[in-house]
Amino acid sequence: GLAQAIMENPKMLILDEPFNGLDKDGVKEMRKYLLSYKEQGKTILICSHSAEDISVLCNTVHEMDKGVIEGVR
């Protein structure tokens, strides 16, 4: 799915738990790719439970609680 999505070089990626199921090397490569994508000025919308992944990749974070967007940090 992800490989097919990025083949078209979209301006925005929407990812749900992109690191789920990846081994340590896979996580490292995915982070590297996403940081490169971000540096190109493109948008990445990530839904994740991993605070570490979010802190490394995101400029703006919106938190949800029971389906409601609570705040921005």
Residues labelled catalytic: 17
Instruction: Give the whole-angstrom CA distance, residue 68 versus residue 64.
Output: 5
Instruction: Give the whole-angstrom CA distance, residue 37 versus residue 26.
Output: 16
- Residue (of 60, 11, 56) closest to 37 by Cα position: 11
